[in-house]
Chains A and B, each alone.
Chain A
């Protein structure tokens, strides 16, 4: 409900799919991006095979001229794995091979274009046609397998604590949230009317939350995938890494010079990120978050997000993040979200420039109020 239908991106995606696939078949592999994309296309045919990860043994870590791993290119963090571990898995961190297969298949089916249901039969037991380009109306873009999604052997994205659950809030955080801190996502503006319908309560654009009002969408940190537009673009040189997230075309520029964060008087929507290398892992530490835009409404004074980027195969970055915020959670906690190589490029996501949601939802709310004042309340079913 809070994500805006990305109509413009959808149109782009259709156009892009057509133009991008053609050169791929010509195998124009002049750049790592091209190679990654070609690998993606090739491995799409293997994607139903849960053991695909074992097949990348010949892979050699691509490196920049400075010797550090090269993360540049297009990635996607779309996932079918639940954020927290469902109770049925208990303390089990990994799925069985059968579970991996089943979750992946049901994920593909569940997110698949309605018209393509039953495609399993049409494509000889596959869930997709490896020779075609599919547009998925439920994700406003390429269907998940074309976004490069691969099976994830984990039972949850949260990997620490070992129970796979976000640790409890501190008493201080409970008190802070109870005191009525405005959540970054806004208060729910669609409210049950207790008569089988719902009423929109939104006095102004701020009530729609930062996502619908186009203030901040996907940039994080941490960068959490959503139902669609979970693309990530990385541009890298020895001094800086730029990370763009697709929804809202939001970006962070991460200096790698080891310099300090700015003073605590600087507050940024996506914080202030500084990177350094620990072996072949890029570590990005983010502070200076805005008081109204911390991760999960944490404490802006104490919240620190540490991200770990590690290339683990030709088409995978292991993206791990640790949330360190002692005044909000009883202990630091971490999650791993695999990013898989995806076909680029990302298209400009103009949000505020065409924010029909803000106009229509607010206009609807005013119309509802007018009707209610006339004694003829309307309920949106």
Chain B
């Protein structure tokens, strides 16, 4: 019965009935219900689920009697729904798998495939620095931006600072005081990328979900975030001090992991184009699993020192599917030692 309802509901994927649409999700619950051995008192979760299963079944039967072509008439071959090619930006309804303690399961190694690390706004491909020696190795890809609405609502003076940043993104002068952060893209120096940039660096990151915390471990620069879950009273609500990866508390809203982060140092950037923030940065991220292989990511950026209003960025994260996938080292500090401290090093003859 459940299988029949599911099959019919799948065929009616593009049908107009919301009730039918929900049937896509219900079979999973129905399966849970069937596995229930305890009695099901009226009004309990199990009873509601049973009702839903019945509604789905009845709806599916009605749809069958009414004739499938009527509901799926835009399609030449109604039986081909499952084989329909995917449409970018659209996912069929999905309920995330659960961890042993019943939370949506976000575990895995994930990676964004946008070019936002170059520029979070629309941008053309470019040669990158030193094409004379780097050739195509050093070129940067073009791409669509990830900023909702396209524009970042900078205050006028902040926009000037962004442009100055971009102009001096490769001007690096490492001192033994905070002036080291005056110019130069932190990525160039292998500093921790901050949030949200860590999530769209061209490197994978791993989510490790546990009953009490969710850890996000980034391959780039070995950056690490611990997200304290569910208003954990053993952890300070407010950041005790500023840090590169921020101070994060999280909770689930349905299947969506909502992470609220603040307490950032004012030195990280959003991209190589000089987009930046102050230490008033407040990021609210939403990680919504939309298939077993995708998470839709959304971040709301708020920083009254730099922007006139909060703004959003959105992009999908993809599950890395290699059988043997694991993070490997990108301890890039090793690669920038001479770059950072060359001015203090002994000059050697060539």
Which A residues lie at the B interface, using CB under 8 A? Answer: 8, 11-12, 15-16, 19-20, 23-24, 26, 28, 30-34, 37, 64-66, 72, 203-206, 213-216, 233, 235-240, 242, 244, 249-251, 253, 255, 259, 262, 266-269, 272, 344-348, 350-356, 358-360, 362-363, 365-366, 369
A32-B212, A213-B337, A237-B208 known; A205 and B244 CB under 8 Å?
Answer: no
Give the residues in chain B near A344, CB-CB below 8 Å: 234-235
**Choice from B215, B232, B236 contacting A31 with Cβ under 8 Å:** B232
The 9 tightest CB contacts between A and B, nearest first, are A15-B240, A362-B344, A65-B100, A28-B233, A204-B345, A203-B346, A356-B176, A348-B243, A34-B234
B contact set with A: CB distance below 8 Å: 99-101, 107, 174-177, 180, 186, 189-192, 206, 208-213, 215, 217, 222, 224, 226, 228, 232-236, 238, 240-241, 243-245, 267, 324, 326-329, 331, 333-334, 336-338, 340-342, 344-346, 348
Q: Considering the chains assembled together, what is the distance between the CA atoms of A100 and B257 in angstroms?
A: 49
B77 CB to nearest chain A CB (Å): 41
| B186, B228, B235 interface centre (most CB from chain A within 10 Å) | B235
- Give chain B residues whose Cβ lies under 8 Å from the Cβ of A34: 232-234
In the complex, what's the smallest C-beta–C-beta distance from A266 to chain B, in angstroms?
6
Q: Is the CB of A235 within 8 A of B236?
A: no
| A213: nearest chain-B partner, CB-CB | B337
Minimum CB–CB distance from B84 to chain A (whole Å) comes to 33
**Complex Cα–Cα for A244 and B226 (A):** 11
Other-chain residue from B100, B215, B234 in contact with A23 (beta carbon distance below 8 A): B234
Residue pair B234, A233 in contact (C-beta under 8 Å): no
Cα A360 to Cα B341 in complex, Å, equals: 10
A residues less than 8 Å from B107 (CB atoms): 237, 239-240
Which of B236, B327, B333 contacts A20, CB < 8 Å?
A: B236
Given contacts A12-B240, A215-B334, A359-B174, contact A353 B210 (CB under 8 A): no
For A35, give the chain B residue with the smallest CB separation: B234
Give the distance in Å from the alpha carbon of A266 to the alpha carbon of B329 in the complex. Answer: 9
4 A-B pairs besides A34-B232, A362-B345 with CB distance below 8 A are: A244-B224, A344-B235, A351-B333, A359-B176
Asked whether A242 lies within 8 Å of B215 as measured between CB atoms, the reply is: yes
Known interface pairs A65-B100, A253-B208, A369-B346; A242-B233 also in contact (CB < 8 Å): no
Report whether A236 and B234 are in contact in the complex, using a CB–CB cutoff of 8 Å: no
Kindly state the separation between the CA atoms of A34 and B324 in the bound complex, as whole angstroms.
36
Contact, CB under 8 Å: A251 / B224: yes
With A72-B210, A205-B338, A362-B344 given, is the CB distance from A352 to B236 under 8 Å? no
Q: Inside 8 A of B340's CB, which chain A residues have their CB?
A: 205, 352, 355, 358
| Among B101, B224, B344, contact of A348 (Cβ-Cβ < 8 Å) | B224
Instruction: Report which of A19, A72, A253, A358 forms a contact with B326, defined as CB distance below 8 A.
Output: A253
B331 CB contacts on chain A under 8 angstroms: 215-216, 269
A26 vs B345: C-alpha distance when bound (angstroms):
54
What CA separation (Å) do A30 and B232 show in the bound complex? 8
Do residues A268 and B329 form an inter-chain contact, with CB atoms below 8 A?
yes
User: Are B217 and A350 interface neighbours, CB within 8 A?
Assistant: no
- How near does chain A come to B231, taking the closest CB pair, in angstroms? 9
Q: Check A345 against B235 for contact (C-beta < 8 Å).
A: yes
A213 to B226, CA, bound (A): 25
